[in-house]
Amino acid sequence: MYPKTSLSASLIGLTLAAFIHAGELDKPALAPNLDYLAGGLMDNYPSAGHSIKQWDQGWIPKDCKSEAEEAGHSAADVSTYEVSYEDCNTAWVMCYHKDAGQSFDDFVELFGRVPVAARQFVRHVIALPDSSPHAYNAGGNIAVFDPESGGLGFEVFMHETGHSLDLLNAYNGGQLSTSQNWLDNYNQDPNVPDPYSQTNQIENVAQNTVVAAYNVQVPGGFPSLEPNWQNIFHQYATVQTWQRESGNLLVPGGQCSHRLTNSETVPIDGSSGKRMARREERAVRKALAARKSEKPDVSLGEGIEVIPPKDFHTGRKLVVRGKKPDVSLGEGIKVIPPNDFHTRDICSRKHKH
């Protein structure tokens, strides 16, 4: 995943007031990041076959338009595609900015690795350019920003989909991150997975969703990779239990049964609250003049149940590249026998220690 930047020092909070309850967590991180899960996840989560149909340039989903303009980009630079994965009778409408770093093919392939039982809780996926790679989930729309091709990995898509599962009540109609069951299990562990998990319980659940996905699908599970797996066991095991009881959300296979309704299809020159430069305005008018197709039909397929929408915006997840550091001792260094103590336990004395 990611630029060599400290997650805990680089977070930009965008959480809605509804989630103020989820404050920073004080448990130490088990690992610097979750990069070390990437290889196993890629090897064991195959991408669903797909076909792609590009929209006429005059139309765009309203949510894609809003996210692009909120990030300071023109909707005229965004192309819209219907991506039909073989495991669902309703295409995903995906939006791609012409300057996005990650190739559109990689973008589609990585999202297709998310199991359809979980993927169906994502509305649109939007790729936009930015100087730093990051991603967030806004009401079920995943926005990814990447200046380097191939920089954002599958684990980012799984993390952001994890937000949808949690905040759109995929777990048997409830929110996992605020449940007493989650908090009780969290309290049994000495660590959280990584520094980003320390942000709040919403991000902690999303990171543990990545760990749970690894444990579910990769032979040997998380313990085969992490010697201190017990330190976060109750957290990722809780995610694993809830996903199993909700229909094996993290297991590949099957067909979609539910979907979020697509956002309204709007002209790219619709009202945005921001004025366009004359050159951009001319480009928009040219695209509209060239438009030959009718307004795209974004209705859901037959038999698909509608997932109730929910308004939320997760934090801006700044991602970090690099493997788990080697902290073994150097050659010839003798080990000092450890001794478990804490100076606060003897602070009743009046003099300083």
Task: Note the pLDDT of residue 20.
Answer: 35
Contacts (Cβ under 8 Å, ≥6 apart) of 217: 41, 44, 45, 250, 251, 252
pLDDT tens digits for range 278-302: 556 566 556 555 554 688 988 888 9
Least confident of 31-45, 84-98, 334-348: 334-348
Q: Give pLDDT, residue 38.
A: 96
Q: Cβ distance 135 to 319 under 8 Å? A: yes
199: tokens are: 């942000």
- Separation CA 94–CA 142 (nearest Å): 10
| pLDDT for position 221 | 98
**Once rounded to an integer, what is the mean pLDDT over residues 111-130?**
96
Q: How confident is the model at residue 324 (pLDDT cuts 50, 70, 90)?
A: very low
> Within a 10 A sphere around the Cβ of 295, how many other Cβ atoms?
14
Per-residue model confidence (pLDDT) at position 207: 98
Mean pLDDT of 226-240: 98
More reliable by pLDDT, 312 or 338: 312
* Residue 165 pLDDT greater than 80, yes or no: yes
Question: How many whole angstroms separate alpha carbon 77 and alpha carbon 97?
Answer: 6
* pLDDT for 147: 73
Which residue in the block uniquely carries the two structure tokens 């790679």? 133
* Mean pLDDT value of segment 148-172: 90
Contact yes or no for 1/35 (Cβ under 8 A): yes
Q: What pLDDT score does 338 carry?
A: 64
Structure confidence by residue, pLDDT tens digits, 185-222: 999 999 999 999 999 999 999 999 999 999 999 999 99
Say if CB 62 and CB 266 are below 8 A apart.
yes
Residue 296, number of CB atoms within 10 A of its CB: 18
* DSSP H helical ranges for the chain: 38-44, 62-70, 104-111, 116-119, 154-167, 180-186, 201-217, 233-245, 278-290
The region of weakest confidence among 89-93, 101-105, 110-114 is: 101-105
Within 8 A by CB and 6+ apart from 52, the residues are 81, 82, 83, 84, 108
Q: What pLDDT was estimated at residue 333?
A: 72
Average pLDDT of every residue of the chain: 82
Best mean pLDDT range from 46-60, 257-271, 283-297, 337-351: 46-60
Torsion of CA 231, 237, 240, 245, to 10 degrees: -160
Strand 258-259 with 305-306, pairing: parallel
The dihedral over CA atoms of 263, 146, 213, 315, expressed in degrees to the nearest 10, equals -70
- Residue 212's contacts (CB-CB under 8 Å, 6 or more residues apart) are 236, 237, 239, 240, 243, 250
Spatial CB neighbours of 241, under 8 Å, sequence gap ≥ 6: none
How much is the pLDDT for 231? 98
Q: Which long-range contacts (CB under 8 A, 24 or more apart) does 101-106 make?
A: 101/129, 101/133, 101/146, 101/147, 101/148, 101/149, 101/151, 102/127, 102/144, 102/146, 102/148, 102/149, 102/150, 102/151, 102/152, 103/149, 103/150, 106/149, 106/150
Q: Which range has highest mean pLDDT (9-18, 139-148, 258-267)?
A: 258-267
**pLDDT tens digits, residue range 128-149?**
999 888 999 999 999 999 876 6
